[in-house]
Amino acid sequence: MYAVMKVIEFCYGHRLLNYQGKCRFLHGHNGKVEIELSSRTLDRRGMVRDFDEIKRVVQAWIDRELDHKMLLRRDDPVAPLLRERNEPVFLLDDNPTAEAIARLIFEHTASQGFPVTCVRVWETEHSVAAYSPDTTARRRPAVRAAARSTTTAA
Q: Tens-digit pLDDT profile for the chain (154 aa)?
A: 999 999 999 999 999 999 999 999 999 999 999 999 999 999 999 999 999 999 999 999 999 999 999 999 999 999 999 999 999 999 999 999 999 999 999 999 999 999 999 999 999 999 999 999 875 433 333 333 333 333 333 3
Per the DSSP assignment, residues forming a β-bridge with 70 are: 13, 89
What gap in Å lies between CA 42 and CA 85, rounded to an integer? Answer: 48
pLDDT of residue 110: 97
- Contact 64/47 with Cβ under 8 angstroms? no
Specify the DSSP element, H or E, that contains 92.
strand 89-92
What gap in Å lies between CA 118 and CA 50, rounded to an integer? Answer: 17
pLDDT of residue 136: 45
Residues with catalytic function: 23, 68, 123
Rounded to two decimals, the pTM is 0.85
Rounded-to-10 torsion of CA 138, 105, 130, 54: 80
Per the DSSP assignment, residues forming a β-bridge with 35 are: 6, 119
pLDDT of residue 96: 98
What gap in Å lies between CA 22 and CA 27, rounded to an integer? Answer: 9
pLDDT of residue 135: 59
What gap in Å lies between CA 117 and CA 15, rounded to an integer? Answer: 27
CATH 3.60.10.10, applies to 2-153: no
pLDDT of residue 41: 97
b/e per residue 125-138 (b: at least 16 CB within 10 A) = eeeebbbeeeeeee
Name the residue ranges covered by the structural domains of the chain.
2-153
